[in-house]
Amino acid sequence: MKRTIMTALAALICGFAGAWLFSVSGLQDRATERWLLANPEVLPKMAERLQQNEGRKRVASVSADVAKPFPGAVLGNPQGSVTLVEFTDYGCTFCRQSVADVQALIADNPNLRVVVREWPIFEGSDGAARMALAAANQGKYAAFHDLMFAQSPPSPASVERAATGAGLDMASARAFAASPAVELELRTNYELARKLGFEGTPSWVIGDQAFSGAVGRDKLAEAIAAAADGGA
């Protein structure tokens, strides 16, 4: 929050929000500074609005690509009318904590499609992400996804257990995990995350909103409802 407040303040100084503040309050000279000191509660609100606006611009720039899943890497209803995108990493504790939230949202929303983008940024999680895409290729993504998150932490042994438990053809899965298709998907996900300004997992895109962290079921449900109302 401190970082975003400073961003908003910098924007004020540079004139992005200062022009608006001047026009609605008639501030001039050092009156802006005095007004902000007298009303510091406005800064978090302005920081939040600035983040939302920047997030919407980023989402708009990649909306078609980010919502297009790797074939099979979808949870919930593959034909759902509302899409929640999750950038995830099997080595991420907060991603693991979010699994139950996503499962509950899917249970509550028969039209929810969850596009999962494998983004292995933690040490040792690359192999799990690759095997997840191999599971998607075999139509067993959801089973592997849940079993892999039940393992801790990702390792060659835990990936093997999750893949076996999901019923993968292991020889085919290993070959596919090393394929150009998987390489391209992982590079694509890294690039999408960069364009969206994400710095860690889990990160989410729903409708025109983008946000990061284990934000909880309620915030995700609120964003899903807003996207549904907007026809996303």
pLDDT digits (tens, 9 = 90+) for 170-180: 999 999 999 99
- From start to end of the chain, where are the E strands? 74-76, 82-88, 112-118, 203-206, 209-212
pLDDT of residue 20: 46
Task: For residues 71 and 182, give the distance between their C-alpha atoms in angstroms, rounded to a whole number.
Answer: 11
Kind of pairing between the strands at 112-118 and 82-88 = parallel
Bigger pLDDT: 40 vs 98 = 98
pLDDT of residue 155: 97
At residue 108 the predicted structure's pLDDT band, cuts being 50, 70 and 90, is: very high
The pair of three-digit structure tokens given for residue 194, joined into one six-digit string: 């960069």
Task: For residues 133 and 139, give the distance between their C-alpha atoms in angstroms, rounded to a whole number.
Answer: 10
pLDDT digits (tens, 9 = 90+) for 33-82: 777 678 777 666 665 555 555 666 668 878 889 999 999 999 999 999 99
pTM (2 d.p.): 0.78
pLDDT of residue 60: 80
What is the SS3 assignment for 74?
A: strand
pLDDT digits (tens, 9 = 90+) for 128-182: 999 999 999 999 999 999 999 998 799 999 999 999 999 999 999 999 999 999 9
